[in-house]
Structure 1
């Protein structure tokens, strides 16, 4: 193995990755990130790290040094991701290419904690300035989402900026319900409920408790909880103060909590908007992403969830489920 040129070794490793029961996104990440020490240091540095007797300490120290010299991200959080890729590569060295995927995470406490979600095969790239910028550029290239958002901006900011006329609210709520596939089957009671709340002053002030007031709507004799819709409705009036909640964002935040311990929230806290916004702010601070506003973090995290935690059914865009 050590005698192989860089490209041949990577090609051989990629074949191994495809033989494992892991996602395409994880394969693509591992194919690049596994060889970080080689790219940023040298072939000798890479092989010394992956074959070290005291692998965990020596590889980690080598990665910390390389990341400190070459990355703008949070080194203490980045290092664990690259280390996990080297662990998988060591399995490749020791196997015939048919190792069981469950072996890959032995000895990794954070990964063991995540087995209850059966996501051991997912290696999401560590959040960094470069990653966020990559996904923001990608967002701008998603014509359907981009134009859809432009249409909503025109509706919310130009045509119907206020929430005092139930007809204006009905137009906005109906459009959101259709664009986002939020599955509200009776939209008029929702519009009437929003109109009665007199929300404009609170929206402008970024009052996070407003989401909780909007989300619960009684239709007939049944109280409905339209949490994700409520975050979207507020966000499209004031995107910098109201990040959007949906299932993709939920998945990503729980994933990084379990892997990196950036926060100690409970799963249910994400369904409370005051807590949710605080968790997203903690996420931004932990990974050194403070240069980005919450709208940009929201776009990044959503796309990350869509890439690494895809659903088994179709959605037009950012649905509730």
Structure 2
């Protein structure tokens, strides 16, 4: 059973999702540049997706070359969450919050219905809801947990950019609510 207030919050987010113009424009920009085989196109995408103050880090770090080597187009269309981990690793064994946030966003702009965004506010909500701590290397589990919430609270029409906004707008309420109550899972 969905708590009435949650239903109201979800309906409000569905009603205002058209105002999330930056996300819509970014998704359209990427859609108009299909494929991840051309290094110049990938570099353009990396610059569009990365936080503006961190573009140099991702370009100088060679993320565009790594994305080209990974051949990610088919896994993106299938919603394979492990591709985000592959991008975040950038040829190394470890990942951190910044690289998984970038990688999940890079994947989500290509397939916004498949790839949950890793960011501080979404992570806080998911951790509160499930009463557990997640690390950047737990992106596969995190993705499944976000998908579970999307399904449980009838958020199907929302893409993961919309759901990230939902978590951002209502994070304080949701975190407090989930700390106090436990839902049937």
The two structures share one fold, judged by TM-score above 0.5: yes
Aligned partner of 2:27 in structure 1 is 153
Equivalent-residue separation in structure 2 for 1:229 and 1:255 (angstroms): 23
> Is residue 248 from structure 1 mapped to residue 121 from structure 2 by the alignment?
yes
Equivalent-residue separation in structure 1 for 2:88 and 2:142 (angstroms): 14
Equivalent-residue separation in structure 2 for 1:235 and 1:227 (angstroms): 12
The Cα shift of 1:230 comes to 0.4
Q: Are the structure 2 counterparts of residues 217 and 270 from structure 1 closer, same or farther at C-alpha, using a change threshold of 3 Å?
A: closer
Equivalent-residue separation in structure 1 for 2:169 and 2:94 (angstroms): 31
Q: Are the structure 2 counterparts of residues 182 and 161 from structure 1 closer, same or farther at C-alpha, using a change threshold of 3 Å?
A: same
> Is residue 304 from structure 1 mapped to residue 170 from structure 2 by the alignment?
yes
RMSD: 3.0
Q: Are the structure 2 counterparts of residues 184 and 275 from structure 1 closer, same or farther at C-alpha, using a change threshold of 3 Å?
A: farther
TM-score by length of 2: 0.76
Whose Rg is larger? 1
> Is residue 282 from structure 1 mapped to residue 154 from structure 2 by the alignment?
no
Q: Are the structure 2 counterparts of residues 183 and 268 from structure 1 closer, same or farther at C-alpha, using a change threshold of 3 Å?
A: farther
Equivalent-residue separation in structure 2 for 1:137 and 1:150 (angstroms): 15
1:187-266, aligned counterparts within 5 Å?
187-188=59-60, 189-217=62-90, 225=96, 226-258=99-131, 266=132
> Is residue 267 from structure 1 mapped to residue 137 from structure 2 by the alignment?
no
Q: Which has the higher contact order (CA 8 A, sep 6+)?
A: 2
Aligned partner of 2:183 in structure 1 is none
How many corresponding residue pairs? 171
Q: Are the structure 2 counterparts of residues 190 and 306 from structure 1 closer, same or farther at C-alpha, using a change threshold of 3 Å?
A: farther
Alpha-carbon displacement from aligned partner over 1:25-81 (angstroms, at most 9, x marks no partner): xxxxxxxxxxxxxxxxxxxxxxxxxxxxxxxxxxxxxxxxxxxxxxxx525xx6xxx
Equivalent-residue separation in structure 2 for 1:293 and 1:283 (angstroms): 12
Q: Are the structure 2 counterparts of residues 292 and 129 from structure 1 closer, same or farther at C-alpha, using a change threshold of 3 Å?
A: farther
Say which SS state the counterpart of residue 115 (structure 2) adopts.
coil
Structure 1: gaps of 5 or more residues? 1-72, 79-125, 259-265, 310-321
Aligned partner of 2:180 in structure 1 is none
Q: Are the structure 2 counterparts of residues 223 and 270 from structure 1 closer, same or farther at C-alpha, using a change threshold of 3 Å?
A: closer
- Structure with more helix by fraction: 2
Equivalent-residue separation in structure 2 for 1:183 and 1:173 (angstroms): 7
Say which SS state the counterpart of residue 267 (structure 1) adopts.
coil
The Cα shift of 1:135 comes to 2.5
Task: Report if aligned partners of 2:127, 2:134 keep a CA contact under 8 Å in 1.
Answer: no
Q: Are the structure 2 counterparts of residues 164 and 209 from structure 1 closer, same or farther at C-alpha, using a change threshold of 3 Å?
A: same
